[in-house]
Structure 1
Amino acid sequence: MQNSTEQSGLPLDWDDVRYFLALARQRSLSGAARVLHVEHSTVARRVQGLETRLGVRLFDRLPRSWPLTAEGEALLAHAGRMEEEALAFGRAALGASTLEGTVRLSVPPVFGSHFLVPRLAALRPHWQGIVLDLTGEARAAELHRGEADLAVRLSRPQQPGLAARKLGEMGYGLYGGHGWVGLPQDAWVFLGYGESLREVPQQRWLERLAGERPFVMHANDLATLHQGCRGGLGLAVLPHFLARDDPALFGMMPPDAAPRRDIWLAVHPDVRRSPRVRAVAEALAKAVQEASGSLI
C-alpha cells in the first residue's frame, strides 16, 4: 500500500481506531468481532478503511491471524493513548450527567439473578428515571475501559485507580439433597468449581473438607452446581441466599462452618460523580444491608 499525503491528511474516525485496537489485541477477525459485538466482515471493512485513509498497511493478512505490521506496531501506542482520552471524556461526561439515563452494572450471575433482581422492585423509588443495564458475568469487568459503570465483586478490587466500597458479607454452607441426610460422612461425594475457579475461598475450603473423598463433578458455573446438588448428585458449597430456603436442599454442617466472602462495589472515580451512578450505588448498598440476614 502506497503512502498518500492526500489520504493521510483526512480526519480520523475514532470508531476506526477502536476497531484497529481490538484487532491488534485479539490478533484475529473473529476475536475482535466478539469483543466489539459485530460481524467479522465489519471489522475487516473498518480496518481496511482506516488503512486506506492513512495510506499505510497496518496488518498482515495470514490464514489464522492478523498480526500487526511494523507500521501498525509504531501506531499502537498512539492509538492506546487516544483510547484513554476517549474513555476519560466519556467518564467525565457521565459525571456531569443528570439523574436520568442508563447505569451499567456488572454482577456475578447468580448473585444478580437470585439475590439482587428480586429486590429491585422495592428499591425502584430510589432511582426513578434510571434504566439499569445489568450484566451477569464471572469475570471482572474493566471499569477503566468503560465496560460497566459499577461492578459488584466478591473480593476487594486490586486495579489501581478504582474506588471500592464494602457492602457486606456473603456466607456459604455445605448443602445436599435430602437423600444424603443420615448417610455416613465417608460416603459423601462432592461437586466443586472447575480449574478456573479452584482458588476461590469456598472451593479451597471444600477441597480440605473432602480430603480423599471424591469429586464427581466440576463446573465453572454456580447455577450448575446448585442444580446438581438439588438433583442429588453430590454435596456442594453454596451461598446461603441461594440454598438455605430451597426445600430440595439440606444443610449438612453448621451454617457458619464454611467461609464468608466480602461483597464489594467498585466504580471509577470519574464515574462516581454521576448522580444516577450514585443513586444506583446507594440502592445496591441498601439492598445488601437490609438482606444481610439472608446472606450470612
Structure 2
Amino acid sequence: MADWENLRHFMAVGRSGTLSGAARALKVDHATVSRRLAALEAELDVMLVDRLPRSCRLTAIGQQVFDQAVTMESAADSIARIARAAHTPLIGKVTLSAPPVLAAHVLAQHLAHFRSLYPDIRLSLAAQAQQVSLSRREADVALRLVRPEETGSFARKLGVMEFGLYARRDYEHREAPDRWQFIAYDESFADMPQQQWLLGIAGPRPIACELNDISGHLIAARAGAGVAGLPYFLGDADPDLVRVGQDVPSFSRGIWLVVHRDLRKTPSVRAVMDFVVALITQHGGFSA
C-alpha cells in the first residue's frame, strides 16, 4: 500500500507541473516534494514523472496512478464531509468563497449582522476571482458568476448582475463617445466575459488604464480616468458616476450559489447558505 503522504505530494506535482509549484501549494520546501516523489516511485517500483529542466511531466503509468489517486482523495474527502455533518449544530467555521465584487461590496458589510444571528459560527469570507474546489474542501460554500458543473454539488441560481458603462459626471469627454477612453483589465483577464464585452465596445478607442479588480475600476472611474464597465448595483449607487452609452450591447452575469451535497444539510453551512440567499435575492441591485 502506497504511503498516502507520498501520494499527496505526487498529486500536487501532477496538478502544478513543477516541483516548486507543488511545494508552494503544499507549503513545504522543494526538497520535501522531491523526496516524497522519489519514495513513492521506489514503493511502486515505477517511474511516475519525467523530470524536465523546467517542468515535470507524468509518464503514462504516472497518469494512471494520478487518476486513481484523485479518486482516492475524493473518497477520503467525502468521508471527512460526512463526519463533519454530524458535528454540533450552528458551531464551527464555514468558509464562503465569492467573487471580489460580491465579497467587498455586498457580503462584507453584512458580516456583523451574521455574527449577531450566529455568534458561534465563524464565517470566513474569501474574495477569489478563481474558482475553488469544493470536493477538495477549499471552501464550504461558493458564489460564482458561471454555472457550476462540479459533480456531487448542489447549485442554485440566485439572480443576475447586469453591467453598464459609467463615467464621472464631469468626465470631459462624456458627451463625445468617439473620444472616450476606457478602464479595463490586463491581458491576464483576456478570457473574462466582462473584459471581452468592454473591449468589444471600446473597439479602436484607447484604453486609459488597466486594473485587476473591479473596486479599482470603480475608484478610477470616480477619479475621472475614463469609462468603466461596472455592475448596475455599484455604478448606480455612486453619486459621482453616471451611466453612459445606453445604446451599447447589454451584458450580464448570473449569480450562482454552490455547495457540496455532503455538506448541504450541515446546520452551520445551511445557516450561511440561507443568509447568502436572502442577501442576494433581496438586494435591489440584482434582477431575478
Instruction: Confirm or deny a common fold (TM above 0.5).
Output: yes
Worse overlay, 211-220 or 107-116: 211-220
How far residue 35 of structure 1 moved from its aligned partner, in angstroms, is: 2.4
Give the number of equivalent residue pairs: 285
Cross-structure match for 1:121:
112
Distance 2:243 2:64 in 1: 59
What's 1:41 paired with? 31
2:96 is matched with which residue: 95, 105, 112?
A: 105
Please tell me the residue identity of whatever aligns with 1:276.
S
In structure 1, what is the Cα distance between the partners aligned to 2:67 and 2:249?
50
Give the secondary structure class of the aligned counterpart of 1:80. Answer: helix
Aligned counterpart, 1:4: none
Q: What's 2:83 paired with?
A: 93
Residue from 284, 288, 291 that aligns with 2:280: 288
Q: Which residue of 2 aligns with 1:143?
A: 134
Distance 2:170 2:17 in 1: 51
- Is the aligned partner of 1:249 residue 2:241? yes
* CA shift for structure 1 position 117: 0.6
Question: What is the RMSD computed on CA atoms of the aligned residues?
Answer: 3.0
8 A contact 1:115–1:241 mirrored in 2: no
Q: In structure 2, what is the Cα distance between the partners aligned to 1:255 and 1:272? A: 43
- The answer on whether the counterparts of 2:166 and 2:244 sit within 8 Å (CA) in structure 1 is yes
Shift of 1:19: 0.9
The list of structure 1 runs, each at least 4 consecutive aligned residues, that deviate by more than 6 angstroms after superposition, is none
**Are residues 1:223 and 2:210 paired?**
no
Q: 1:238 is aligned with what amino acid?
A: L
Q: 1:69: Cα distance to partner?
A: 5.1
Q: Equivalent residues in 2 for 1:198-213 (5 A)? A: 198=190, 200-213=192-205
| Structure 1 alignment gaps of length 5 or more | 1-10
Q: Distance between the aligned counterparts of 1:116 and 1:280, measured in 2?
A: 11
Distance 1:14 1:192, change over 3 A: same
Amino acid at match of 1:134: L
Contact in 1 for aligned 2:201/2:248 (Cα 8 Å): no
SS in 2 for 1:120: helix
Shift of residue 38 of structure 1?
3.1
Deviation, 1:57, is 5.1
- Map 1:140-289; keep pairs closer than 5 Å: 140-180=131-171, 182-195=174-187, 197-198=189-190, 200-253=192-245, 258-289=250-281
- Give, as a single letter, the amino acid of the residue that structure 2 aligns with 1:40: H
Residues in 2 aligned to 1:201 and 1:65: alpha-carbon distance in whole angstroms:
31
Deviation of 1:131 after TM superposition, in Å, equals 1.5
- Identity across the alignment (%): 42
Structure having the larger proportion of residues in helix: 1
Secondary structure in 2 matching 1:67: strand
TM-score by length of 2: 0.84
Which segments of 5 or more consecutive residues in structure 2 lack a partner in the other structure? none
Which TM-score applies when normalising by structure 1?
Answer: 0.82
